[in-house]
Structure formats: structure tokens, C-alpha cells
Structure 1
Amino acid sequence: MKKNERLKKLLKVHCAQCGTCCSDPIATVTHHDLRRLVKHTGKPARNLVKLYTCSDFIDQDEIEEDLIYLSYGKRIMGLRKLDERCIFLSKDRQCTVYEARPILCRTYPLELTITEENKLDEINIRDIILDKSVSCKYTYGKQKPLKKILNYAVQDVIETDSFERKLTKWNKRAEKGGKNEFLAFLGFKE
């Protein structure tokens, strides 16, 4: 399939609202995602996220840059779950924070990479879906505007880079602390 045809096909990928991606994988978040969620829900940051161990993740190859060094070990920040589902997934499989959902959720099941000039470099279905680690039942529908997808990709790069700089700063500190200290370091005072 030609690159242009493949792009058009992938831009037609839509969520089937099966809830699988809100149950199986852990949705990692940045402090930017968390700030939007805190503002939207009015709930404290500590109630929205959990600091997961590496063994909690399906695909452990891609988590190294997300590691947070705490006094009790290495963790990764992700959305909290309740009964094995994202705390924001309703019983009828609707996202209750749709307007404020993390960037990862906005682009799922797609994985986007951009060039330094903020142009789309690659678009793919996420590896955890392709290798059947997660049984995503995505569908095809109306083509999404490339500009919107590209904006999410650019926002993701900017916010992820910012978060990784914060993590590096935190991880270099002599005194590590726990979840509350880490969230305070990110600017969440509760």
C-alpha cells in the first residue's frame, strides 16, 4: 500500500468504545495531562493517578524514560484504575472526562511521530494492539483531519519533553520522597 493511501486509511481509524484500552493498558500521563484532569474534575491529583511498578506494564521496553525514582523504588505515573478499569470510564463505556482526557487517549489507538519541523513523520497502529497484547476493536469511519492529529502529535512531544525534563530534575535530587512529595514537586499542592 502506498504511503498516502496508508495515511488516509489510518486517519479513518476510530475508537469502537469497547473499553479495552481503558482496562488493559495503563494510561501514562504527564503533569500537563494531570493538570487538565484536576481542573476538569476538581479532584486532587493524588486521587487521579497511581504510581505503578514496572511489572504492571504490558510493554516494558518503552517505559525507561517515564521512570520516577522514589524513596521506595522506581515507578511510572498513570491514571488510577477501579475494578481494573480507568476511573473515568463509565459503566456504559463512555469517558467521563472526554474533554480533558490525556493526549495518549486522544490519539489512541494510533501512534504518531513527527519531524523536528513538526510535520507528520509516521503514523501507525500501536504495537500493543498489533502484537495482540490488547484486543482493541477499533473501527473505520470518517477520516479525521490530518491537522488535528498533527496538533495532538506536536502537543504530545512538547508536553512529554517538558515532563521528561521534570523527571530528570526530580531523579537527580538527593532526597527522593514518595508520591505526595513528587506531586508537590510537579506543582500539585493539596
Structure 2
Amino acid sequence: MGRNTVHFKCHHCDHCCRDVVCLPTPWDVLRIALTTGQDPHDFLEFLTPDEITGVAKNDPAWLLAGGQKHMMALRRTAKRGCHFLDRKTGFCGIYDARPILCRLYPFKLQETRDGDFRGFTLHKDVGCPRHRDGVYDTGPLYDLYLNDRMHHEDYDTMVEAFNRKDRPGREPQEFLDLFIEVVVEG
């Protein structure tokens, strides 16, 4: 199943919580809402292609609302970072319920030319300092990766249905209403 260890140790610099845009899966949103009791409208936002780097312009997760592309993300501010970053402790306030993307960060999946899983390495295109003074067992990340893949298929299906009905004046928040309805009905 590929390499099972990577030289890495998190030093809790909070880069991932301050500077990385987190794109949650439907099940991430449900888990966060159930854990925190917060309405997803309070912790999600919609970003345009100019506000996100590293997401291809043709990615199927882009929402069309009023003729413009948007991507659903955890709400964040330039000063504070992620909505769930605890300002007092500097740690994630929803650590046990955090999104899959946060659980995988800063690791990058490596695949063979045939698309088969090869292992994980540290992602080179992210701002994480990537301290290498520890050894991290990436074995459990494979299950998260499979989970993430499955959930992205669910999300892409919802986005595709939403995008087919685009019209002038439509707001991306309408997707969130549909999204909540679909996820809650399960």
C-alpha cells in the first residue's frame, strides 16, 4: 500500500488554520454542525476563483450562481484565520470533528501512473514549515483519503444538480440551503 511513514512533526504554528482555505465535504459540515450546534450558515462562506489558489478552474466542485463561480469553504478572516481556531489556545476548537482536509494536511497523496495509491508525502506547494524532526505514520490517512474521495463524489453530484439550474441573481447561499436539506435528510 505504499510508504507508511513520513518524516514530519507538527509544531503547532497554526499556519494551516490561518492561511489555508478549507473546503469541507458534506459529511464534514454535518459533523461540525452536530458537534458545535452551530448553523452551517454561521461557519461557511463562498469564495470566488480569485480568493482560492490551487483549485483548477475546471474543478467540478465550483458552484455557478448568477453566472459566477464560487467554492464553499470554512469561514475565515484575514486577522483570525479559521472560524474554529481558538484564539486563546491557538488550537483547533473542533479538533475531533475537524474536516477531512484538515486531517490530511500537509500530506499529499502519491499515485502511480495508473491511478493506484502509492503513499503519502509532504505537500510541497503549501506554506506549512514541514518540520522533519519526527516520524509520522501515514497508514491511517489512507482510509481518510478513501473517505474524502467518496464524499467528494457526493458533493460533486450535488454541485452538478445545482449548476444545471443557474439563473441571473442566484446567490451561492442557495446551494447551502439545498446542501443542508440533502445532508440532513441523508
Q: Could you tell me how far 1:180 is from its partner in structure 2?
A: 3.2
> Superposition pairs for residues 5-154 of structure 1, below 5 Å?
7-10=3-6, 12-61=7-56, 64-71=59-66, 73-82=68-77, 83-91=79-87, 92-112=89-109, 120-129=117-126, 134-144=127-137, 146=139, 148-154=140-146
CA distance 1:81–1:142, change in 2 (3 Å): same
Say if 1:24 and 1:84, in contact at 8 Å, map to a contact too.
Answer: no
Which structure 2 residue ranges, 5 or more long, are not aligned? none
- Range with greater deviation from structure 2 (61-70 or 15-24): 61-70
Q: Could you tell me how far 1:100 is from its partner in structure 2?
A: 0.6
Task: Give TM-score, length-normalised by structure 2.
Answer: 0.81
Q: Equivalents in 2 of 1:37, 1:63: separation in Å?
A: 28
Paired residue type of 1:187: I
Paired residue type of 1:101: R
Which structure 1 residue ranges, 5 or more long, are not aligned? none
Q: Could you tell me how far 1:113 is from its partner in structure 2?
A: 5.4
Partner of residue 179, structure 2: 186
Q: Could you tell me how far 1:139 is from its partner in structure 2?
A: 4.2
Q: Equivalents in 2 of 1:79, 1:143: separation in Å?
A: 26
Of all paired residues, the percent bearing the same amino acid is 21
Q: Could you tell me how far 1:119 is from its partner in structure 2?
A: 6.8
Q: RCO (CA 8 Å, sep 6+): is it higher in 1 or 2?
A: 2
Partner of residue 147, structure 2: 155
Task: Give TM-score, length-normalised by structure 1.
Answer: 0.80
Local SS of the residue matching 1:65: coil
CA distance 1:89–1:181, change in 2 (3 Å): same
Q: Which structure features the higher share of helix residues? A: 1
Q: Could you tell me how far 1:165 is from its partner in structure 2?
A: 1.1
